[in-house]
Amino acid sequence: MLIAGVAHCYKIDPENLKSDSKKRAVIEARRVVSYIAVRKLGYKCTEVSKAMGVSAVTVSKAVSLGSELPEVDKIQTQILESWFRIIAVQRNQTGKIEKWNGRPSHSPNFFVNKPLTPGSACSI
């Protein structure tokens, strides 16, 4: 969901974030994913590196550079609002919600397997 959300914001294919593309939008999107995942959600660089198919060193550098991007806070807010909407819908459907531990998932697959909900908007 994080990779899909950030890719949506940058108007690129989520698979591009796992490629060796050197396009500016792809590089910035990788930095945003790395920064949000590591600094804001508490994932380890190794978890993020496995999900994105890059080295942990690359993720560590991207975290530092991602913090300097002016749009990172706006993207983070939009993605978190999207997650909370999804949680609210799931809660309404089941009548309960699993205990929230501050992270959307315990699996690195969280980054790729859950796309944004249709109609979600992102503007950077």
Please give the residue that has the higher pLDDT: either 104 or 45. 45
User: Going by C-beta distance under 8 Å and a sequence separation of 6 or more, which residues neighbour residue 33?
Assistant: 2, 3, 6, 17, 48, 52, 62, 66, 111
Judge whether 122 lies within some domain.
no
Judge whether 118 lies within some domain.
no
Judge whether 120 lies within some domain.
no
Judge whether 67 lies within some domain.
yes
Judge whether 6 lies within some domain.
yes
Range of the domain at 43: 2-113
Find the length of the chain: 124
19-40 pLDDT, tens digit per residue, is 888 899 999 999 999 999 998 8
pTM strictly above 0.75:
no
Q: Hey, how many other C-beta atoms are within 10 angstroms of the C-beta on 1?
A: 21
Number of domain units in the chain: 1
Instruction: Give the domain CATH number at 82.
Output: 1.10.1750.10
